[in-house]
């Protein structure tokens, strides 16, 4: 059997800009930011199918460091090469350097996780053969043609919140590549016909789908939603039909086709925490590169993490490294993929720094001043997991906000007859949560249901959540759903109850369509989709979460009514 031999590439000092791996005429330039590191190694794999690296290069602090950036130019390397870093530094409290761990570049444009083992990243010891690896990405020469942003006005906007995989994973979808960007592209004509003006994609940045627990039936659960980021740059590898995640043209084709159909593309981005979790979590990237720069640590003991996200850590958007990474990520996604806007998960976390809460976050200022970002739709989820709510005062006049207060009020009004005055006030354009802070109610994103909670059908079918399948004995998920079953808990064949439920649900949608601001509906609500009472289906990569396209035929009258309502608002 013949063997493959790889030559040792020559290298030079390279440049400290740009950060990440950049292909040039002579090879690849690598640049890594770390303020506290003492030693850095670059690990290279030229054979993607091998766990063994082909070259390991020590970077010297003299020749290969400028300021806080470590850099090197490796001659003769081409796109598709895999790479990672070993980083060492002081062992003082607050640092988590581990020279045995090979780390993912925070600026990697694509990742290869075929050999990744989370458990190896959670314990001491070498993970060389089981680490996340960055992929060097070159120019794909994608032809955007005369692509442009549709830029719909708020009063004519209807956002369709969807999950890329869930939209087409069910066998009834009939697409060639279920659960992928390519599969979603096939369904854009349907969304155009529905009348919506924008699609909001739940996280498409690479995420960790490994959740270390089983449900009561012994089934292993996965992170289906995608709110555990492995990267702020790389797209989710499993969403590419062609594999590996470096074939970025598939996502570009999705965006280009959406724009041809006059649909905006908004990305749900997660900059509030990462998959590295707490002090017992895995060391895969940020933590091992410069823990103190990328995370908010407890002032009482910097061994521990502050947890404003509810996910064991909080990303630090107040340091130079944190701010730059976030803005660079946003500008890259906007520039490279032509997206039309961003929805910021748990956006209130931007208001925390190492010095506590601030009323004027620098990261917000940088986003507002960016010539690339300031003209896009910027949408905040204006709260965090601790109870802090910044409704009506997030980010400035150009920031839209998810209006959780409207969701609660419209449900209480329709289901229980309360909150009438507040609902009327919002419909008149004087929403209390916006008016108090002198913010235009047109910057509100109004919805009756979203991914985080009941579907619209379940809001009028269940008095209580039913999350037993998640494995937390029904303790997870919100208890404040303002839902009502109208006589029978769950599904029923009683035609009177079914009629009442659809009437109440349509009333919620109708009021939401009349409220000033943008309207948003949840994937499948126009088809009368149910999750069986599960209001926290984050781990349900199955028929609970997948969209069953057969509902279009089962509930044609409901579908038609919702379609007409949407078109009446948008005029499409």
DSSP letter string, 505-520: HHHHHHHHHHSSSEEE
Query: What average pLDDT does the segment 541-555 reach?
Result: 97
User: Which stretch of 77-81, 209-213, 330-334 has the lowest confidence by average pLDDT?
Assistant: 209-213
CATH 2.40.50.140 is right for the domain spanning 11-135 = no
pTM: 0.97
Reported residue count of the chain is 572
State yes or no: pLDDT of 150 exceeds 70: yes
pLDDT band (50, 70, 90) for residue 436: confident
For the segment 532-556, the average pLDDT, to the nearest whole number, is 97
pLDDT band, very low/low/confident/very high, at 438 (cuts 50, 70, 90)? confident
Active-site residue identified among 345, 401, 405, 452: 345
Q: Report the pLDDT value the prediction gives residue 6, as an integer from 0 to 100.
A: 60
pLDDT at 77: 96
Res. 448 pLDDT band, cuts 50 70 90: very high
- SS3 (DSSP) at 502: helix
pLDDT (0 to 100) of residue 336? 97
Cα distance between residue 181 and residue 254, in whole Å:
7
pLDDT digits (tens, 9 = 90+) for 374-422: 999 999 999 999 999 999 999 999 999 999 999 999 999 999 999 999 9
Whole-angstrom distance, CA of residue 190 vs CA of residue 130: 41
- Give burial (CB, 10 Å; 0-12/13-18/19+) of 369: exposed
User: Does 345 qualify as catalytic in the annotation?
Assistant: yes
Q: What is the pLDDT of residue 246?
A: 63
pLDDT for residue 1 is more than 50: no
Which pLDDT band holds residue 3 (cuts at 50, 70, 90)?
very low
Domain 154-272+315-570 in the same topology as domain 11-135: no
Q: What is the mean pLDDT of the chain?
A: 95
pLDDT of residue 545: 98
pLDDT digits (tens, 9 = 90+) for 451-509: 999 999 999 999 999 999 998 899 999 999 999 999 999 999 999 999 999 999 999 99
Mode of pairing for the β-strands spanning 264-269 and 341-344 = parallel
Residue 2 has what pLDDT? Answer: 34
Q: Rounded CA gap, 43 and 255, in Å? A: 34
In angstroms, the CA 382 to CA 386 distance is: 12
Q: Which residues pair with 438 in a beta bridge?
A: none
Q: What is the DSSP string of 413-440?
A: HHHHS--HHHHHHHHTT--HHHHTTT--
Residue among 336, 340, 381, 384 flagged as catalytic: 381
The distance from CA 382 to its chain's CA centroid, rounded to whole angstroms, is 15
pLDDT exceeds cutoff 60 at 263:
yes
**Coil, strand or helix: which one is 177?**
coil
Residue 244 pLDDT class (50, 70, 90 cuts) = low
Report, in angstroms and rounded to the nearest whole number, the Rg of the chain calculated over CA atoms: 24
| Selection from 26-35, 216-225, 423-432 with the highest mean pLDDT | 26-35
Predicted pLDDT of residue 245? 61
Average pLDDT over residues 259-283: 97
Q: What percent of the chain has pLDDT over 90?
A: 92
Share of the chain above pLDDT 70, in %: 98
**DSSP bridge partners of 55:** 44
Residues in contact with 332: Cβ distance below 8 Å, sequence separation at least 6, in sequence order: 109, 233
| pLDDT surpasses 80 at 72 | yes
Domain 154-272+315-570: CATH architecture, name and number where available: Alpha-Beta Barrel (3.20)
Grouping H, G, I as helix, E, B as strand and the rest as coil, residue 244 is: coil
pLDDT at 47: 94
* Domain residue extents for the chain: 11-135, 154-272+315-570
């Amino acid at each position: 059997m013949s063997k493959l031999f790889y030559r040792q590439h020559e290298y030079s000092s390279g440049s400290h800009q740009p950060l990440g791996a950049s292909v040039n005429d002579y090879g690849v330039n690598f640049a890594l930011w770390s303020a506290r590191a003492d030693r850095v190694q670059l690990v290279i794999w030229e054979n993607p199918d091998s766990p063994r690296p082909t070259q390991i290069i020590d970077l010297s602090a003299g020749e290969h460091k400028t300021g806080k950036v470590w850099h090197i130019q490796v001659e003769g390397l081409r796109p598709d090469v895999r790479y990672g870093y070993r980083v060492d530094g002081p062992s003082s409290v607050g640092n988590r350097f581990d020279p045995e761990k090979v780390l993912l570049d925070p600026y990697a444009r694509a990742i290869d996780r075929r050999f990744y083992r989370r458990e190896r990243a959670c314990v001491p010891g070498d993970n060389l053969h089981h680490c996340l690896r960055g992929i060097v990405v070159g120019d794909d020469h994608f032809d955007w043609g005369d692509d442009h942003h549709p830029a719909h006005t708020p009063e004519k906007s209807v956002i369709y919140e969807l999950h890329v995989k869930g939209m087409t994973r069910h066998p009834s979808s009939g697409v060639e590549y279920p659960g992928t960007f390519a599969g979603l592209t096939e369904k854009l004509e349907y969304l155009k016909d529905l009348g919506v003006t924008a699609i909001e994609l739940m996280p498409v940045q690479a995420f960790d789908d490994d959740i270390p627990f089983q449900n009561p039936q012994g089934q292993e659960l996965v992170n289906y939603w995608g709110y555990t980021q492995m990267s702020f740059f790389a797209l989710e590898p499993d969403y590419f039909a062609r594999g590996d995640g470096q074939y970025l043209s598939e996502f570009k084709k999705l965006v280009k086709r959406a724009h041809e159909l006059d649909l905006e593309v908004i990305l749900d981005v997660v900059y509030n925490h990462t998959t590295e979790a707490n002090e017992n979590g895995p060391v895969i990237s940020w933590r091992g590169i410069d823990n103190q720069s990328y995370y908010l640590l407890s002032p009482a003991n910097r061994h521990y993490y502050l947890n404003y996200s509810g996910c064991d850590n909080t990303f630090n958007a107040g340091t130079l490294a944190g701010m730059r990474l976030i803005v660079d990520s946003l500008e890259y996604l906007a520039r490279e993929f032509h997206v039309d806007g961003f929805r910021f998960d748990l956006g209130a976390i931007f208001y925390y720094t190492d010095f506590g809460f601030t009323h004027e976050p620098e990261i917000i200022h940088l986003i507002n001043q960016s010539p690339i970002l300031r003209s896009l739709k910027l949408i905040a989820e204006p709260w965090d997991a601790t109870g802090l709510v910044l409704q009506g005062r997030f980010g400035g006049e150009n920031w839209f906000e998810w209006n959780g207060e409207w969701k609660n009020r419209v449900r209480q009004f329709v289901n229980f007859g309360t909150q009438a005055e507040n609902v009327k006030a919002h419909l008149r354009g004087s929403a209390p949560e916006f008016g108090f802070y002198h913010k235009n109610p047109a910057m509100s994103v109004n919805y009756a249901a979203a991914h985080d909670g009941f579907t619209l059908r379940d809001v009028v079918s269940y008095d209580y959540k039913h999350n037993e399948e998640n494995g937390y004995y029904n303790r997870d998920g919100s208890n404040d759903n303002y839902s009502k079953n109208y006589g029978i808990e769950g599904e029923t064949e009683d035609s009177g109850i079914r009629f009442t439920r659809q009437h109440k649900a349509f009333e919620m949608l109708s009021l939401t369509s009349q409220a000033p601001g943008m309207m948003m509906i949840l994937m499948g609500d126009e088809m009368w989709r149910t999750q069986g009472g599960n209001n926290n289906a984050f781990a349900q990569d199955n028929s609970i979460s997948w969209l069953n396209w057969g509902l279009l035929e089962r509930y044609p009258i409901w579908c038609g009514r919702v379609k007409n309502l949407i078109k009446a608002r948008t005029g499409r």
